[in-house]
Chain A
């Protein structure tokens, strides 16, 4: 099944290569990997998704910890979490198709971010299924170009903060990110 790892690493040159190299070397197949800054300038945060079994997921966690620059690894697969993917989809939308495409975008709560004579570019954020769903219905109109960020994920806020330092850490980060919502 798809395992979601949240990995905090030192924000230093080459750390992404170390993580990517580990997955290649141990033949763990990455489904998606995203990396970005956190509220602490010295810490970067990765969301890595891997299609694997529970035993191998534990090994991935242990191997990640063996990288000196890795600070914290959380497998949030079986925990209440919010997972989001962002996609931009450029659709060939000529005059007559345009209203249909706009309607579909609205049903999926997607936003139109660029309008050109021959195309519309739609931005959508959500779970992977939701984006797959929009893609499916847009395909007949002609998808000219598409880009997806890969999953970013976060544990949901806890009711008893402070029980687990790791959880507290994620909760603190989550608080900075603004509103949480469910689909």
Chain B
């Protein structure tokens, strides 16, 4: 059957299971938009193309399905760059469709022409320039396959205007992916399983390092079985939170720069690290020279390029985590590690995360209060928290206890401020039944707050908690520790967020006292539209503990003692 490139685009997306796309029209993508009227796909009009990519990313992380963002050529495409890089660093499957000037104009610096495949080459898993309608079906099938298979990631498909306009014979079956060099389905050798099992059975002080790969692979049940069967405690990366239930006795909590002291000490004292779907990022290892020196290391990871990249490992099992664990689990023997678990338990008294509920209420409002109250209030519902980047992100990781996978969505690898609000829109579109909370700083919120209009246009029930301390808080914290409290360019003069939200027709309130936190959260939950709460929190609060960049993992900056900045001191 003959179809135009524009028609083929939407038909292929439908066949790939796409129900929603996030986009912004413009000249070079107009033929595609014109053909949208014949499609069942719901298009969500964003306010900035960066927002579209974060929405597609949030959609992908909330659902595990491929998220799709659409933009025009030139500035539309370049605005996507931050979102694409964010998805790349966090292995999030998105497909970005961009319009391109007519194929005969390529290279002529035509109006709104930019070399987006060149620009995104290092930040996509793969990308394509399509100049003929008859290439489109195969390319789109490949794009979705590459995005979701193996280690997922973003794929960009740049389609010239003439490729959208011209017609060709459309044959879905014939347009099968042709990827002779692509091998997403590696699996370990038998000898590697044997070596791993030997190390696991010999270990006296083993520790599981649980990463994002568990969630991507859907290996939560297998990891739980492994930990319980072999009696191995579990430390999680930021993106791993939710991969192992927070309330489980073997869960130690988050590791790394702002992980609890006992977690980092346990890593340093372990004799075996079992790294599952994580990549030894510098934020979790600290100084590599002093990192877990006594530990043998087993790395189960789908991307062979991650093996021995930062940390040299003893055994690497390259493959899909769930498949590898299924193979491994029946051969894992039950081992008693109670001495090791007891020794970690003794360190647990040494907590830096304040037991915030025990603090007397003397009028001060701390971010920890807000986040912990939010957790207690929503813990029994199907909640997805989407955080931005900075102090509030770390407090969320410390004070909000995630029991389930895909209940936290956050920008880890790239650390993209402005991620939360649009990503939450994507999450809500993917999972309309979920209670979606945005936890965002006053700085990051203002980077993409134009998407408040998208929330209203789509009538989405999203709750927004701004942790407003009037500073770029994490940068201020670094200035406090490492730049002699020279608060250069970190204080923010903010707009009235309540009035701002009102201008968008979003219900809003400001909270300045602890006693108002729970009532405001309840009011937000009861309202059937979007709600914004401006939590005006203590301005110079600090995230503890902290491993300074490049310091050893057990060399943590601790809360000063006696505690000077908590609500107990007046």
Residues of A within 8 A of B (CB): 9-10, 14, 17-18, 21-22, 25, 55, 58-59, 62-63, 65-72
Contacts and interface: CB of A to CB of B under 8 A. Distances in A.
A21 B122 contact: yes
Given A65-B183, A68-B146, A68-B182, A59 B118 contact: no
B132 interface: no
Contact of B179 (A22, A55, A68): A68
9 contacts: A14-B129, A21-B121, A65-B304, A66-B303, A68-B146, A68-B179, A68-B181, A71-B180, A72-B181
B91 to A, nearest CB: 12
Contacts of B146: 68
A65 B312 CA distance: 20
A21 B312 CA distance: 25
Contact of B305 (A9, A63, A69): A63
Nearest to B318: A62
Given A62-B305, A66-B303, A69-B181, 12 more contacts: A21-B121, A22-B122, A25-B122, A55-B308, A58-B308, A59-B307, A59-B309, A65-B183, A65-B304, A68-B179, A70-B181, A71-B180
A10 B118 contact: no
B126 interface: yes
Interface in B118-162: 118, 121-122, 125-126, 129, 146
Interface of B: 117-118, 121-122, 125-126, 129, 146, 179-183, 303-305, 307-309, 312
A10 B121 contact: no
A68 B309 CA distance: 20
A14 B121 CA distance: 10
Contacts of A9: 181
A10 B128 CA distance: 14
Contact of A71 (B181, B305, B307, B309): B181
Contacts of B312: 55
B471 to A, nearest CB: 34
- By Cβ-Cβ distance, the 8 closest A-B pairs, closest first, are A62-B305, A62-B304, A71-B181, A68-B126, A63-B305, A25-B122, A68-B182, A70-B181
Contacts of A67: 181
B374 to A, nearest CB: 39
A10 B303 contact: no
Nearest to A9: B181
A100 to B, nearest CB: 50
Nearest to B304: A62
A63 B183 CA distance: 12
B181 A18 contact: no
Interface majority SS on B: helix, strand, loop or mixed? loop
Contacts of A63: 305
Contacts of A59: 305, 307-309
B213 to A, nearest CB: 16
B121 A17 contact: yes
A63 B303 CA distance: 9
A13 to B, nearest CB: 8
A10 B181 contact: yes
A70 B309 CA distance: 20
Contact of A17 (B118, B179, B181): B118
Nearest to B155: A68
Contacts of A21: 121-122
A71 B305 CA distance: 16
Contacts of B126: 68
A137 B188 CA distance: 53
Contacts of B181: 9-10, 65, 67-72
Contacts of B180: 10, 71
Contacts of A68: 125-126, 146, 179, 181-182
B121 A18 contact: yes
Nearest to B181: A71
B173 to A, nearest CB: 22
Contacts of B121: 17-18, 21
Contacts of B308: 55, 58-59
B101 to A, nearest CB: 17
Nearest to A68: B126
B496 to A, nearest CB: 44
B28 to A, nearest CB: 20
Contacts of B129: 14
Contacts of A22: 122
A10 B181 CA distance: 8
A14 B128 CA distance: 10
Contacts of B304: 62, 65-66
Nearest to A20: B121
A166 to B, nearest CB: 13
With a 10 A CB-CB cut-off, give which of A10, A21, A66 has the most chain B CB atoms: A66
A72 B121 CA distance: 20
Given A14-B117, A17-B121, A62 B307 contact: yes
A132 to B, nearest CB: 34
Nearest to A69: B181
A39 to B, nearest CB: 16
A25 B305 CA distance: 14
A177 to B, nearest CB: 23
Nearest to A61: B304
B130 to A, nearest CB: 12
A67 B153 CA distance: 12
A72 B181 CA distance: 7
A63 to B, nearest CB: 5
A50 to B, nearest CB: 15
A108 B133 CA distance: 56
A21 B115 CA distance: 15
Contacts of A69: 181
A25 B179 CA distance: 24
A116 to B, nearest CB: 38
A57 to B, nearest CB: 11
A137 B312 CA distance: 46
Given A18-B121, A21-B122, A55-B312, A66 B179 contact: no
B280 to A, nearest CB: 13
A55 B129 CA distance: 35
A71 B183 CA distance: 9
Nearest to B123: A25
Nearest to B118: A17
A153 B122 CA distance: 28
Nearest to B307: A62
A75 to B, nearest CB: 14
Nearest to A60: B305
Nearest to B305: A62
A25 B118 CA distance: 13
Contacts of A17: 118, 121
Contacts of A25: 122
A58 B308 CA distance: 9
A70 to B, nearest CB: 5
A73 B217 CA distance: 27
